[in-house]
Amino acid sequence: MPAAPRPTAPTVLVVTRSSQASEVGRYLDEAGLPAQVAASVPAPSRLAPGVTAVVVFPDDLPLAMAAMLKLRRARKALLLLLVTSHPGRYQPLTALAPDTTTLLPAPAFGWHLVDEIRRHHGAIGRSP
């Protein structure tokens, strides 16, 4: 009898212009969360359907608010995890979808990202 297919790990998109972007992506990969890295927040139509979490470092992206609002409105089940030194700036995003928008104070350790992503995936019934 063939083994049941293993669930595909949800993909995480890391959005930052920081020189540490590849390190964040590698950390998530090693934690079992396949990650892609981008320098800007994609339009909702350009975000791959398998992406279930987007980690944004908006302090590096001063013009990202409009793109994040579009993404938040289009994909409310998507985890939008913001790592920022200025959480008050992003309250409009949390108001749109408080259950799937998380603000983490910068600097944040990699395990904080992993814990939040896994918590979200557990809530939506997916396992990384």
pLDDT, tens digit (0-9, with 9 covering 90-100), for 40-75: 999 999 998 889 999 999 988 877 888 999 998 999
H helices, E strands: number in the chain: 4, 5
Q: Are 53 and 120 in contact (CB under 8 A)?
A: yes
Backbone angles phi, psi at 3, to 5 degrees: -70, 150
d(CA 107, CA 89): 16
pLDDT at site 55: 94
CATH top-level class of 11-123: alpha beta
First-residue to last-residue Cα distance in the chain: 25
pLDDT above 90 (res 30): yes
Extents of the domains making up the chain: 11-123
pLDDT above 50 (res 111): yes
Average pLDDT along the chain: 85
pLDDT at site 121: 76
d(CA 28, CA 34): 6
pLDDT at site 35: 93
pLDDT above 60 (res 2): no
